[in-house]
């Protein structure tokens, strides 16, 4: 009853009834007067649902009639504070309202003008057309209304107009219009690139990777130049491959100085981008790479036994299906050089990885791993790609082993969390510890956790980890 009384109060006002009073006079009311009136109503509104309805009503009824200055004034914090949960339009916390203030209002006004002009048939029927648009607008789905108010590309406005016109003409009062505002892949192409922190659930931890989504392939010079510009451990490039039952993308990885055949954390970052933005509607993605077809699978956190505490109900891991990297004897005469490269660390074993061509150096403990002070200029003189340092983890840590990875030859002094290195670490530690399921921690400054399963028969390593997107942007060249 309270809600109905409050709705009756609002509906009785001249602001929400366009047929009442002089239209010209109504249009001349300033945004300050409109807000002032709504604030006076708010003092009589006690029901939260009514408050949200009130703000939704303001947007739905007034926005198509406001000029540019009025629209800018409309996007100010509501008068009732932060205690009301935000709805689609009733954005009541500081962060959400800041996002609204940053919207390009001039672009929004142009969209509104485009709608108005496209619906003008004859001079004498302009008002009737506006009312038809408003009546249809009321029945447009909330998510669609929000998307139309945001930065919609101008070349798509005509298509939206046609959908709205058809909806207004053909629909009944009970119908609701839901527009597919943009194909998600093309929407993200407007941004161009995301930066994702992989093998972590916290921003600014794990290993950052730039994920670039491309509408068409570029040349290798462009790939390498962009990777050098980002200057992080890996930049990867995705191109959509159509005509497959499972979503499939071409995937290439570049460090700041060269292309690599395999990269775990950038693959995880690519999968995170596709899963979290809705670019794929499947729990499995296939990547066509220089190392063959690699699979990424979205799995619930409840299915993974890890050293991390997964309290959130809707969290998920991404599982990467990678080839195992066998371990071989090093047969190196550079023992003294290796000791110098690690600044005299306590070395107990030295191996070499067959596929990655990395030196795997085992030290006496996980604590020694964290204390290693690499001499990067000396590491650059050691044969092979890079140096993996590893040791048994402290018993209280919840992990099985620690590791670090140094690869200055490829422009990566220390890789914060290296997925491909764990394809060989899994082989080594599975044999040493006598088990196929392992929890690993890469003890770099940023740190990162990897859950591992080794399939010895098929020689596959399943790397499971989380990731978080920290930036979106666009490449302008």
DSSP state string for 311-353: --TT-EEEEEEEE---EEE---S-HHHHHHHTTS--EEEEEEE
Q: Which residues pair with 362 in a beta bridge?
A: 349, 390
Cβ neighbourhood burial of 155 (10 Å; 0-12, 13-18, 19+): exposed
Sign of CA dihedral 298, 460, 207, 412: negative
CB atoms near residue 132 (< 10 Å)? 16
CB-facing half-sphere around the CA of 474: CA atoms within 13 A: 9
Give the whole-angstrom CA distance, residue 214 versus residue 218: 8
Cβ neighbourhood burial of 254 (10 Å; 0-12, 13-18, 19+): buried
How does DSSP classify residue 453? E
Q: Is 161 a catalytic residue?
A: no
Residues in the chain: 477
Helix, strand, coil percent content, the chain, rounded in steps of 5: 40, 25, 35
Selected catalytic residue, list 234, 286, 319, 414: 234
Residue listed under structure tokens 């922190």: 197
Catalytic residues: 234
């Amino acid at each position: 009853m309270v809600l109905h009384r409050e709705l009756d109060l609002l509906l009785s006002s001249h602001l929400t009834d366009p047929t009442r009073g002089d239209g010209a006079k109504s249009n001349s009311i300033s945004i300050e007067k409109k807000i002032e009136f709504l604030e006076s109503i708010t003092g009589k509104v006690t029901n939260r649902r009514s408050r949200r309805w009130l703000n939704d009503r303001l947007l739905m009824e007034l926005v198509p009639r406001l000029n540019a200055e009025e629209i800018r004034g409309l996007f100010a914090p509501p008068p009732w504070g932060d205690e009301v949960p935000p709805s689609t339009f009733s954005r009541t916390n500081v962060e959400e309202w800041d996002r609204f203030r940053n919207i390009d209002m001039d672009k929004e006004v142009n969209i509104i003008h485009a709608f108005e002009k496209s619906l003008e048939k004859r001079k004498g029927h302009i008002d009737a057309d506006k009312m038809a648009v408003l009546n249809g607008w009321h029945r447009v789905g909330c998510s669609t209304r929000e998307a139309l108010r945001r930065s919609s590309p101008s070349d798509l406005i005509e298509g939206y107009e046609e959908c709205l016109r058809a909806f207004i003409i053909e629909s009944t009062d009970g119908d609701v219009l839901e527009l597919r505002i943009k194909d998600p892949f093309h929407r993200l192409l407007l941004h161009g690139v995301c930066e994702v922190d992989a093998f972590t659930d916290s921003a600014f931890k794990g290993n950052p990777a730039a994920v670039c989504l491309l509408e068409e392939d570029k040349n290798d010079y462009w790939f390498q130049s962009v990777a050098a510009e980002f200057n992080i451990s890996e930049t990867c490039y995705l191109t959509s491959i159509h005509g497959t039952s499972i979503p499939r993308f071409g995937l290439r990885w570049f460090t700041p100085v060269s292309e690599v055949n395999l990269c775990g954390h950038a693959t995880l970052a690519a999968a995170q981008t596709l899963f979290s933005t809705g670019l794929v509607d499947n729990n499995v993605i296939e990547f066509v790479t220089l190392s063959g077809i690699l699979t990424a699978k979205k799995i619930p956190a409840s299915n993974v036994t890890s050293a991390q505490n997964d309290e959130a109900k809707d969290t998920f891991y991404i599982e990467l299906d990678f080839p195992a990297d066998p371990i071989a004897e090093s047969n190196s005469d550079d023992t003294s050089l290796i000791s110098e490269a690690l600044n005299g660390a306590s070395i107990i074993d030295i191996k070499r990885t067959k596929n990655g061509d990395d030196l795997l150096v085992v030290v006496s403990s996980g604590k020694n791993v964290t204390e290693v002070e690499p001499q990067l200029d000396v590491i650059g003189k050691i044969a092979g790609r890079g140096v993996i340092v590893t040791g048994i983890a402290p018993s209280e840590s919840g992990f099985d082993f620690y590791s670090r990875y140094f690869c200055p030859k490829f422009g990566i002094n220390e890789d914060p969390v290296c997925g491909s290195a764990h394809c060989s670490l899994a082989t080594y530690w599975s044999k040493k510890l006598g088990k196929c399921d392992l929890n690993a921690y890469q003890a770099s400054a940023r740190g990162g956790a990897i859950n591992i399963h080794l399939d010895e028969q098929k020689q596959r390593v399943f790397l499971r980890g989380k990731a978080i997107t920290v930036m979106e942007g666009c490449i302008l060249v």
